[in-house]
């Protein structure tokens, strides 16, 4: 531990104490009290606490911490505004590291990416309109850095009729919007869904979910808000196999230490003070904020999903050893393919970071084209890796009897007899490993590995649109014209 950092960075214990608040949270139709003790929620809290733990460790300080360009203090990298290409690269490396340690979504990337997008957008907003959004945001973010706060990022609206614009919806609240304004701030209403880690965060940055057009100014709003603000209601998202965490069994859960979290967040006339507002009706900047955030978040997937992939590949290799097939050539070939796919994702994350550039505001941004290529690959490769896992592990990951049966005096001895594999491998170790693989490839963690790989940071078509915009086809056509002397 680095004693000199304890004042600048929260310890895991300090983080755990800091989130013990009265939240308006519902799960299974009932209000949840002391959510930090709920067995379904605790693994997701453990995941965030792990980030705070790693930031205290000397061996990881280069990736997990850095110096704030605004205060000069040592801060958690998740609160940093990128100041160099090296920062962009270390971000991806850090995300891979954490993915390796927890094997699930660690919930802190969205707010990190939202902050870096807002930093440059607010600067350009002020330049055009002579507003003070950038200074507001810097003051807001210095507080985040100084207190080592976890910040969520909220973009996705419920959207209602997808064929209609926000202003054309039967219910205008299907997109979060301003419903009133006072001298001191604004009042907003609507909902944000798929909110990764909202409950475990201290604050959140809210952004539009798409490019807002003239006439829809009430929807062009971005602001910071405390996650427990008055008027906010949360409903905990249901995940496959989630109630296994309520059983008195670590073996049944798979990844029993760590997990992800998704929250349905409803804003019922929430007041936002002026100092926390970073965009208010400037429609022409809404699309740029969406695009920059998406670029940063698509870069992130070249790190986090790769770290989880590392653990999955390790689990798959180990189970083939347990089952005595690890030396078969086709087994080795499929493991090599899994490694190839995983490292290709990492290459994209590092590549888009390496070609990063400096914005006028002074912060650095990744290469947008390669970030979208990275995420496009993420919508495919984890699914192929999971297919290969299912091939190598066998059907037992979806037919395995319960731990209660394994411990039963009547059928337990029979199950242990027929679930035994190679000499020296316990049935219990094989069981834990199979449940872990099931958890990530089929169960709760599949949300953060496969489904999030598909829809997180935008669905595949969103990346294809951006790839088209960034690909510069006219320049490519000119290349062949020059070679063939075509006028």
**297, 348, 379, 449: which is the annotated catalytic residue?**
297
396-411 pLDDT, tens digit each: 988 999 999 999 999 9
**Residue 318 · residue 242 · CB < 8 Å:** no
Q: Residue 371 and residue 382: Cα distance in Å, rounded?
A: 17
Percent of the chain at pLDDT exceeding 90: 84
Reply yes or no on whether 109 is catalytic: yes
In the set 218, 262, 282, 403, the catalytic residue is 262
In this prediction, residue 4 carries a pLDDT of 39
- What is the DSSP secondary-structure string of 171-229? SGGGS-EEEEE-SSEEEEEEEEEEEETTTT-SEEEE--SSPPPTT-GGG-EEEEEETT-
How far apart are alpha carbons 274 and 276 in whole angstroms?
5
CA-CA distance, 375 to 368, in Å (whole number)?
A: 11
Average pLDDT over residues 105-111: 95
Provide CB contacts within 8 A for 482, sequence distance 6+.
none
Supply the pLDDT for residue 23: 96
What are the phi and psi torsion angles at 414 (to 5°)? -70, -45
CB 298 within 8 A of CB 349: no
The SS3 call for residue 27 is strand
Confidence of residue 466 (pLDDT cuts 50, 70, 90): confident
Residue 135 catalytic?
Answer: no
Write the pLDDT tens digit of every residue in 314-356: 999 999 999 999 999 999 999 999 999 999 999 999 999 999 9
Which residue out of 52, 82, 109, 352 is catalytically annotated?
Answer: 109
- Give pLDDT, residue 240: 82
| pLDDT value, residue 138 | 98
Q: Quick check: is 196 catalytic?
A: yes
Q: Which member of 104, 105, 348, 374 is catalytic?
A: 105
Q: Could you read off the pLDDT of 38-58 as tens digits, one per residue?
A: 999 999 999 999 999 999 999
Q: pLDDT, tens digit, for every residue of 379-390?
A: 999 999 999 999
Per domain, the residue ranges of the chain are 288-476
Q: How buried is residue 473: exposed, middle or buried, by Cβ count under 10 Å (0-12/13-18/19+)?
A: exposed
Average pLDDT over residues 3-30: 86
Residue 463 vs residue 157, higher pLDDT: 157
Query: Is 7 or 264 the better-scoring residue by pLDDT?
Result: 264
Active-site annotation holds for 347: no
Report the pLDDT value the prediction gives residue 5, as an integer from 0 to 100.
39
In this prediction, residue 447 carries a pLDDT of 64
State the pLDDT confidence band at 445, using cuts at 50, 70 and 90.
Answer: low
Active site residue 297: yes
Of the residues 47, 65, 66, 196, only one is catalytic, namely: 196
Cβ neighbours of residue 244 under 8 Å, at least 6 residues apart?
252, 253, 444
Per-residue pLDDT at 198: 97
65 tagged catalytic: no
| Average pLDDT over every residue of 66-77 | 96
pLDDT at residue number 468: 84
pLDDT of residue 443: 60
Residue 153 pLDDT greater than 70, yes or no: yes
- Please choose, from the candidates 149, 96, 59, 125, the residue with its C-alpha nearest in 3D space to the C-alpha of residue 308: 96
Average pLDDT, the chain: 94
* Secondary structure class of 30 (helix, strand, coil): strand
How far is 406 from 69, CA to CA, in rounded Å?
56
What CATH number was assigned to the domain covering residues 288-476? 1.20.140.10
Q: What is the mean pLDDT of residues 472-483?
A: 90
From 104, 216, 218, 304, the catalytic residue: 304
When pLDDT is cut at 50, 70 and 90, the band that residue 164 belongs to is very high
Of these residues, 218, 282, 365, 452, which one is catalytic? Answer: 452
Average pLDDT, integer, range 368-382: 95
Question: Is 304 among the residues known to form the active site?
Answer: yes
Q: According to the model, what pLDDT value does residue 1 have?
A: 34
Question: H helices then E strands: how many in the chain?
Answer: 17, 14
Which of 119, 133, 175, 301 is an active site residue? 301
pTM for this model (two decimals): 0.93
For residues 106-118, average pLDDT = 97
Q: In the annotation, is 124 catalytic?
A: no
β-pair type (65-67, 74-76): antiparallel
């Amino acid at each position: 531990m680095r004693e000199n950092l304890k004042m600048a960075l929260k310890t895991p214990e300090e983080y755990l104490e800091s989130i013990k608040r009265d939240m308006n949270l519902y799960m299974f139709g009932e209000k949840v009290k002391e959510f930090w003790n709920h067995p379904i929620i605790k693994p997701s809290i453990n995941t965030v606490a792990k980030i705070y733990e790693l930031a205290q460790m000397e061996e990881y300080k280069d990736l997990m911490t850095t110096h704030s360009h605004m205060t000069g203090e040592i801060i958690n990298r998740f609160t940093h505004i990128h100041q160099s290409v090296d920062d962009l690269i270390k971000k991806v490396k850090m995300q891979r590291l954490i993915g390796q340690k927890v094997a699930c979504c660690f919930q802190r990337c969205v707010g990190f990416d939202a902050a870096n997008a807002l930093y440059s957008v607010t600067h350009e907003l002020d330049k055009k309109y002579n507003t003070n959004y950038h200074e507001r945001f810097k003051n807001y973010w210095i507080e985040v850095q100084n207190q080592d706060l976890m910040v969520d990022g909220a973009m996705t609206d419920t959207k209602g009729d997808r064929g209609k614009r926000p202003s054309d919806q039967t219910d205008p609240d299907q997109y979060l919007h301003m419903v009133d304004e006072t001298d001191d701030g604004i009042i907003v209403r609507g909902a944000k869904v798929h909110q990764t880690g909202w409950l475990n965060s201290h604050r959140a940055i809210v952004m539009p979910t798409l490019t807002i057009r003239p006439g829809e100014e009430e929807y062009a709003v971005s602001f910071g808000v405390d996650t427990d603000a008055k008027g906010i209601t949360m409903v905990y998202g249901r995940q496959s196999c989630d109630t296994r965490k309520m059983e008195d069994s670590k073996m049944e859960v798979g990844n029993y230490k760590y997990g992800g979290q998704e929250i349905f967040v409803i804003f019922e006339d929430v007041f936002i003070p002026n100092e926390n507002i970073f965009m208010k009706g400037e429609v022409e900047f809404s699309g740029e904020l969406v695009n920059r955030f998406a670029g940063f978040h698509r870069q992130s997937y070249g790190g986090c999903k790769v770290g989880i992939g590392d653990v999955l590949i390790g689990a798959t290799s180990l189970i083939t050893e347990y089952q005595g097939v690890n030396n078969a050539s086709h087994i080795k070939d499929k493991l090599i393919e899994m490694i190839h796919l995983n490292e290709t994702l990492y290459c994209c994350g590092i590549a888009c970071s390496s070609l990063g550039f400096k914005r006028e505001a002074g912060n650095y941004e990744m290469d947008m084209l390669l970030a979208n290529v990275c995420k496009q690959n993420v919508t495919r490769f984890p699914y192929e890796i999971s297919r290969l896992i299912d091939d190598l592990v066998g059907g037992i990951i979806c037919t395995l009897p319960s731990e209660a049966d394994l411990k039963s005096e009547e059928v337990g001895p029979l199950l242990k007899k027929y679930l035994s594999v190679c000499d020296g491998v316990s049935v219990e170790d094989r069981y834990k490993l199979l449940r872990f693989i099931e958890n990530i490839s089929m169960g709760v963690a599949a949300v953060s590995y496969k489904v999030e790989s598909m829809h997180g940071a935008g669905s595949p078509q969103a990346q294809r649109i951006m790839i088209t915009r960034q690909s510069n086809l006219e320049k490519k056509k000119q290349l062949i014209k020059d070679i063939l002397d075509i006028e």
